[in-house]
């Protein structure tokens, strides 16, 4: 076995040590069953509340970094990237649970296809329902569909007939197995994004650096989140601000201004419709 870890998993904790530990243990068990050397890097973004408990998890293959404030998803992951020693980096949400198949199939793909920068499995809810795991690169039309059209026009759920890997524009950041050399070339997450859309932005820069983004439904990973609740989406200011920020960075101020109007109108209409529906 070669020196050093093959995979460095970076997992963030924010006020939920029990779930974070469950995700860590699932990853470590899956990696042990595949038979590879790993390291787990845990970044605690709620240090004043959970730092002592999370810090006690450190051992020979776990590194714990405790932040005294919530630095956000992008910046905290970048802390982990900077100290990672693996050939591959696994960005893993603390509410996502790695499996043997997700580790084995992801590694096999990246080891056999040098042009692949990011590999991602299919994401499902705990009951097996598919999640929106991929997307196109956002533009004004996709923003219009998301905010001003019914959800069925903007959510890209996997087709039942999908059985093999395919190239996509973007993948959801709950489980991203990334080639370290590609990440170094493209750069880490853009820290202007506090939480959400940093995964989309990284996919875009990875493609600009010459690497492919691969979605592979041969492996499925349970992700407890996934934005399934309409009210949660409606009242998530970070999400909406990040959408506008991405368009401003990538498409310019005029497109961002139009998108801001769409956002305000769309959120208002959705709120009215949901309120009316509850009163019926």
Write out pLDDT tens, residues 117-128. Answer: 999 999 999 999
CB of 38 within 8 A of CB of 6? yes
Q: Which position has the higher pLDDT, 248 or 3?
A: 248
- Residue 171 in any domain: the answer is yes
- Residue 133 in any domain: the answer is yes
- Please state, in angstroms and rounded to a whole number, the distance separating the CA atoms of residues 235 and 18: 26
- Residue 28 in any domain: the answer is yes
- Residue 114 in any domain: the answer is yes
pTM of this prediction?
0.90
Q: Over pLDDT 70: what percentage of the chain? A: 89
pLDDT above 60 (res 213): yes
Residues near 70 by beta carbon (within 8 Å), at least 6 away in sequence: 14, 45, 46
- Residue 202 in any domain: the answer is yes
- Looking at residue 226, its pLDDT comes to 58
- Residue 100 in any domain: the answer is yes
Neighbour count for residue 19 (Cβ, 10 Å): 15
- Residue 49 in any domain: the answer is yes
Q: What number is the average pLDDT over the span 140-165?
A: 74
- Residue 67 in any domain: the answer is yes
Work out the mean pLDDT of the chain and round it to a whole number.
Answer: 90
| pLDDT one-digit tens code per residue, 66-117 | 999 999 999 999 999 999 999 999 999 999 999 999 999 999 999 999 999 9
- Confidence at 228, pLDDT banded by 50, 70, 90: very low
CA 203 vs CA 188, 222, 276: distances in Å: 10, 21, 38
Owning domain of residue 125: 7-226
| Number of separate domains in the chain | 1
Give me the CATH number covering residue 159: 3.90.550.10
CB of 222 within 8 A of CB of 96? yes
């Amino acid at each position: 076995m070669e020196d050093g870890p093959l995979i460095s998993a970076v997992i963030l904790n924010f006020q939920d040590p029990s779930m974070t530990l469950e995700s860590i243990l699932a990853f470590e068990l899956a990696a042990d069953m595949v038979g590879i050397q790993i390291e787990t890097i845990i970044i605690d973004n709620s240090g004043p509340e959970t730092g002592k408990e999370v810090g006690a998890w450190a051992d020979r293959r776990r590194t714990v970094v405790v932040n005294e404030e919530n630095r956000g998803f992008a910046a905290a992951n970048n802390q982990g990237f900077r100290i990672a020693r693996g050939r591959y980096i696994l960005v893993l949400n603390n509410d996502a649970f790695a499996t043997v198949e997700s580790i084995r199939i992801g590694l096999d793909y990246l080891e056999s296809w040098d042009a692949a920068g990011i590999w991602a499995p299919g994401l499902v809810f705990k009951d097996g329902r598919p999640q929106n795991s991929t997307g196109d690169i956002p533009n004004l039309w996709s923003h219009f569909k998301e905010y001003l059209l019914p959800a069925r026009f903007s959510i890209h759920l996997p087709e039942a007939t999908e059985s093999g890997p395919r190239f996509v524009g973007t993948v959801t950041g709950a489980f991203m197995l990334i080639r370290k050399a590609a990440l170094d070339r493209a750069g880490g997450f853009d820290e202007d994004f506090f939480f959400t859309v940093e995964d989309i932005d990284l996919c875009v820069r990875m493609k600009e650096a010459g690497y492919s983004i691969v979605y592979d439904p041969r492996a499925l990973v349970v992700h407890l989140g996934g934005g399934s609740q309409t009210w949660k989406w409606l009242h998530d200011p970070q999400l909406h601000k990040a959408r506008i920020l991405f368009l401003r960075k990538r498409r310019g101020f005029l497109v961002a201004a139009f998108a801001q109007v769409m956002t305000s109108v769309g959120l208002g209409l959705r709120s009215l419709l949901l309120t009316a529906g509850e009163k019926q």
